[in-house]
Structure 1
Amino acid sequence: MTIAARFCGPASSSNGGYFAGLVATLASRTLAVRLLKPPPLDTELAVRELADGALQVVQGEEPIGEAHPALLELDVPPAPDYLQAVEASRRYAGFRYHRFPSCFVCGVRRVRGDGLRIFAGPMPERGVVAAPWVPDASLDLGDGKVRAEFMSAALDCPGYYAVAADDRMMLLAELTAHVHRRVHIGEACTVVAWAIGSSGRKHEAGTAIFDGEGELCGKARALWIEPRAPPASA
């Protein structure tokens, strides 16, 4: 398994949702994918099968990620109207400041047809962030529909903006995603995310993708973690 540089999150490592989606395509069931190290780009990674349907991704002998069969239970809020999502995206925090502007999913420096450009902005009256998304032809599996790993990627970054309204530094630690139906290329979709709960440095978010008819097509539960602060110098 090799992750092309196009699919970066931070400039030197994979977008977490894309990595999780790529791993999940290797199984026939829903997986909770945990990131142990930043997945490197343009580097051959090996996948090992473990007991009970679990998988481990390694670079040499160094574990990069692991996945375990999971049951995804998630209460998904109703889909906002597509035009409401368009309006919400105008308030995207990443337009003011972005830690990873080249991110494949939410980076403001990525052009159409290269990045997903999912810019989730707040809808305070609903308690969610929302964004429009029209998948381009480069995401096509060959059947006119979006590849599952790109659906997983789309379910990643909006969750950050649901739990980090103050733009604090967080990294994706685990993603459990389930794709009900792969959306069509060129379809006017809506992506929403909402906070589930927080405990110390750990924050949970839910995300969902709806098609042009407002039908749920994919959902995910994510764990985001704030890095530990460096020790104060003497």
Structure 2
Amino acid sequence: MQTATLIIPQRFNGPPSSGNGGYSCGRLAAFLTGPAKVRLHKPPPLGTELQIKHGDASSVDMYEGDMLVASAVPCQFEMNIPTPPSPARARDASTRFARYQDHVFDTCFVCGPGRPAHDGLELFPGPVDDWGLLACPWTPGEDMLDADGNVRSEIVWSALDCPGYFAIARERKLHALLGELEGELMQPVKGGQTMVVFSWPIEEAGRKSYAGTAIAREDGTILARSRSTWISLDP
């Protein structure tokens, strides 16, 4: 069994004491080729050496000692992607972000309004017309790019995470954690451009809710997509 290690730095937190779900999923998905389905078995710890173990050619696991943190497998998933809103409509929707105040995780790397300017992704999706479609603009910082000028894959996975939460939470302050993220990076996400990140609810089943998220260029070309599963912690 092949083994590697990685550490999730403090900067990339979701809840204050654990890794952002999308970032953590993206770090593990990078050990596979193509679309991947990542399941989080426990909150990924920050600043801790994690072991990456390849069970076979089609699976990879993340461990903290003997404890399974996350598992990933290649996948193919079908989903209907709504027409992305224009950048102008995405900017307008972002003014209606429901959690500029009283955010559940105010310092989340992806969506926390309590972080220093430009330290996180600053994705604040709000309803475009109603809660059936949310959107916000995104301009990745230069420190999030690789040597080729593309947004690093784990950062793209991060952007595919939290907007799905707001699609299922809507205006509610819902306590829910990411359980599973299916993601596909369809084209390189070039730096130096503003994109539209948009999300929509798919369905609810008991304590589980499902959402879709996609990233598009200004001309509407889809660059990445995901289907997320959220587990409600509220009674």
Tell me, yes or no, whether TM beats 0.5: yes
Query: CA offsets per residue over residues 161-192 of structure 1, 9 Å max, x none?
Result: 00012121110000011011122222110000
TM-score, scaled to structure 1: 0.94
User: How far off its partner does 1:125 sit?
Assistant: 4.7
In 2, the alpha carbon distance for the partners of 1:200 and 1:123 equals 27
User: How far off its partner does 1:113 sit?
Assistant: 2.9
In 1, the alpha carbon distance for the partners of 2:177 and 2:218 equals 30
Residue 200 (str. 1) matches residue 202 (str. 2): no
Q: 1:224 aligns with which of 217, 223, 230?
A: 230
Structure 1: stretches of 5+ with no match in the other structure: 230-234
The answer (yes or no) to whether the contact 1:140–1:185 under 8 Å persists in 2 is yes
The answer (yes or no) to whether the contact 1:57–1:63 under 8 Å persists in 2 is yes
Q: 2:60 aligns with which of 55, 72, 83?
A: 55
Query: CA offsets per residue over residues 87-115 of structure 1, 9 Å max, x none?
Result: 10001011132010100000001233310
Structure 2: stretches of 5+ with no match in the other structure: 1-5
In 1, the alpha carbon distance for the partners of 2:191 and 2:106 equals 24
1:164 alignment counterpart: 169
Q: Give the partner amino acid of 1:221.
A: R
Alignment of structure 1 residues 129-144 onto 2, 5 Å: 129-144=134-149
Q: 1:181 aligns with which of 178, 187, 202?
A: 187
1:37 alignment counterpart: 42
User: How far off its partner does 1:212 sit?
Assistant: 2.3
Name the SS of the counterpart of 2:99 in structure 1.
helix
1:28 alignment counterpart: 33
1:146 alignment counterpart: 151
In 2, the alpha carbon distance for the partners of 1:40 and 1:60 equals 11
Q: 1:19 aligns with which of 16, 20, 24?
A: 24
The answer (yes or no) to whether the contact 2:175–2:234 under 8 Å persists in 1 is no
User: How far off its partner does 1:64 sit?
Assistant: 0.5
TM-score, scaled to structure 2: 0.94
In 2, the alpha carbon distance for the partners of 1:111 and 1:177 equals 28
Query: CA offsets per residue over residues 123-154 of structure 1, 9 Å max, x none?
Result: 23582110000111010111111011101100
In 2, the alpha carbon distance for the partners of 1:52 and 1:198 equals 33
In 2, the alpha carbon distance for the partners of 1:189 and 1:10 equals 26
C-alpha root-mean-square deviation of aligned residues, in Å? 1.3
Task: Work out the number of aligned pairs and report it.
Answer: 229
The answer (yes or no) to whether the contact 1:206–1:222 under 8 Å persists in 2 is yes
The answer (yes or no) to whether the contact 2:50–2:62 under 8 Å persists in 1 is yes
The answer (yes or no) to whether the contact 1:111–1:117 under 8 Å persists in 2 is no
In 2, the alpha carbon distance for the partners of 1:183 and 1:42 equals 27
Q: 1:72 aligns with which of 60, 74, 77?
A: 77
